[in-house]
Amino acid sequence: MKTFVRTDENGVIIDVFASDDWLPGDSHVPDIAAQFVPCPAGAQPGGKFINGVLTAPEPEAPRAPIVPAADFINLFNFEEQTKIMALRQSDAMINAGFKRYEDPRVTVADLGMASTQAFIGYTLDMIGGTAAHKAERKITILMGAPQ
């Protein structure tokens, strides 16, 4: 089987064409077909092909989970929830943050979003505790498992 790739200006593979019987020009317009170059088998989109050297795509980084909005408060343990209830009376940011996930129009909490992660960090800072404990709790919370 013959393999051809089309890459961007950085050598990142954007298209792979592999066939025993066809060439890129048989199924692409001439301008696109001219961008394909022969490549070793095993090429994958996202990989690189530079100066005849083929490299596999970088593995995707693990993504933080998305949890149902109603479960967001349950990511905090009972002691933290008790402190959050008290803080909601005096801290507008904590109140607004938790109110967001109580809104019926909000169905999920994306733990991968920078704003969600910052809110979790802020909440843990306001709850108190050692820096090491807060860092450990943030990691646990971002795993998305109810406590």
pLDDT for 146 equals 83
- Reading the block at residue 68, the tokens are 């149902």
Helix locations, the chain, DSSP H: 24-27, 30-33, 78-90, 92-102, 114-127, 131-142
Please write the tens of the pLDDT for every residue from 31-74.
Answer: 999 999 999 999 999 999 999 999 999 888 778 899 999 999 99
Q: 62-89 b/e with 16+ CB inside 10 Å = b?
A: eebeebebeebbebbeeebeebbeebbe
Residues 7 and 35 in one domain: yes
What is the extent of the structural domain holding 28? 2-55
Count of domains observed in the chain: 2
pLDDT for 68 equals 95
Residues 71 and 137 in one domain: yes
Residue 61 domain-assigned? Answer: no
pLDDT for 97 equals 95
Residues 71 and 35 in one domain: no
Residue 90 domain-assigned? Answer: yes
Question: pTM for the complete prediction?
Answer: 0.60
Please write the tens of the pLDDT for every residue from 65-115.
Answer: 999 999 999 999 999 999 999 999 999 999 999 999 999 999 999 999 999
